[in-house]
Amino acid sequence: MADTREMGLVVVGAGGRMGQALIRAIHATPGLCLSGAVERTGSPLIGRDASAHAGLEASGIKITDDPLPAFAAAQGVLDFTTPAATVEFAGYAAQAGIAHIIGTTGCSDEDEVRIKAAARHAPIVKSGNMSLGVNLLAGLVKKAAEALPAEDFDIEILEMHHRHKVDAPSGTALLLGAAAAEGREINLSENSVRSRDGHTGARQTGTIGFATLRGGSVVGDHSVILAGTGERITLSHQAEDRTIFARGAVRAALWAHGRKPGLYSMLDVLGLN
C-alpha cells in the first residue's frame, strides 16, 4: 500500500531501457513511489510486475496498456518513449493536471507545439538530457562559444550512441548546439549543418556542424569541438550508466510537483538557468 505522503509516479515505456532505470530510481528515492507502469497495447509485458521486470523485488504494480486510470491515481509521469507516444501522454497528463517529465528525443516541430500547448495545463519538464553533467557542460559550451569569435573558431558536435538508437542527431547534441548558438547569439536551425556527404564545398563560417556515430552498447558520448587555426578546444561528456538520466528525471518530478503549469527545462530544475 502506497504511503499517501509519497509522490506517486507512473512510468510510461516501463519495459524500455530507460523505463527500467526509472523504476529502479523511484524505488531508491525517499518520498517517491511507483504508482503505475504503462506499455503500448500488444506489448508482451502487459500484466508483468513492473518492478520485477526492472530487476527488483515485485511491488504489485502490473504493467498496463491503459494510461488513463494510472494517470488519474498519480502525481506525476516519467516519459522516455517515442515522440508520438509522448504527445499523447502530454494530453493525458494535462487532463489529470499532473507533472510530466519528458526525456523522449527526436520530437518534430509539430510535436513541440503540441507539448507546449499541454504545458498550459500542467507543469512539464522536458530535456534532451537529464544528467547533471551534460546540463553543466551546456553552460560551459555557451561561455566558450561566446568568448571565441566565429571567424576564428568553428564549432562541431560529435556524438556516439548504442546501435538501438533511432534518432539523429541526439537530443543532447541538439541541446549542446542550442547552447553554442545562444552563446553566439544566432539561430541554431538557420546555422546548423546536420550531415555532410560528397562534394560539400568549404565550411561556411559561423555554422555549427553535427556528426553522428552509432554502434555497440555506448550509453552516450558527446564532444563539442571548437576548432581554431593551430589550436582546438574539446568539451566532452561520457555517460557510463543510464542511472544518471533516471536520477535527473526523479529530481525533476519532485521539483515539478505542485508547480504552476509551464514548460520547464533541466536548467530550471538544477538552478542553472
Ligand X SMILES: O=C(O)C1=N[C@H](C(=O)O)C[C@H](O)C1
Ligand Y SMILES: NC(=O)C1=CN([C@@H]2O[C@H](COP(=O)(O)OP(=O)(O)OC[C@H]3O[C@@H](n4cnc5c(N)ncnc54)[C@H](OP(=O)(O)O)[C@@H]3O)[C@@H](O)[C@H]2O)C=CC1
Active site residue ranges? 161, 165
Q: Is 160 annotated as a binding residue?
A: no
Phi-psi region of 10 (alpha: psi -120 to 50; beta: other; left: phi over 0): beta
237 near ligand X, judged by CB under 6 A:
no
Residue 35 as a binder of ligand X (CB under 6 A): the answer is no
128 binds ligand Y (CB under 6 A): yes
| Binding residues for ligand Y, total number by CB under 6 A | 25
Q: Which is nearer to ligand Y, 82 or 191 (CB)?
A: 82
- The answer to the question of residue 129 lying near ligand X (CB under 6 A) is yes
Residue 48 touching ligand Y (CB under 6 A): no
Binding mask 189-228 for ligand X (x = CB under 6 A): -------------------------------x--------
Burial 48-65 (b: 16+ CB within 10 A, else e): bbbbebbebeebebebbe
Among 29, 51, 127, 192, contact with ligand Y (rule: CB under 6 A)? 127
SS3 39: coil
162 assigned binding-site residue: yes
- x-or-dash string of contact with ligand Y, 94-113, rule CB under 6 A: ---------xxxx-------
CB burial of residue 22 (10 Å; 0-12, 13-18, 19+): buried
Residue located via cell numbers 539523429: 168
Q: Is the peptide bond before 169 cis (omega within 30 degrees of 0)?
A: yes
Please report, as residue ranges, which positions from 129 to 168 form the binding site for ligand Y (by CB under 6 A). 129-130
| Piece in contact with ligand X (CB under 6 A), picked from 30-38, 163-171, 198-206, 248-256 | 163-171
For residue 9, which amino acid is it?
A: L
Residues that bind ligand X (CB under 6 A): 105, 128-129, 161, 165, 170-172, 220, 239
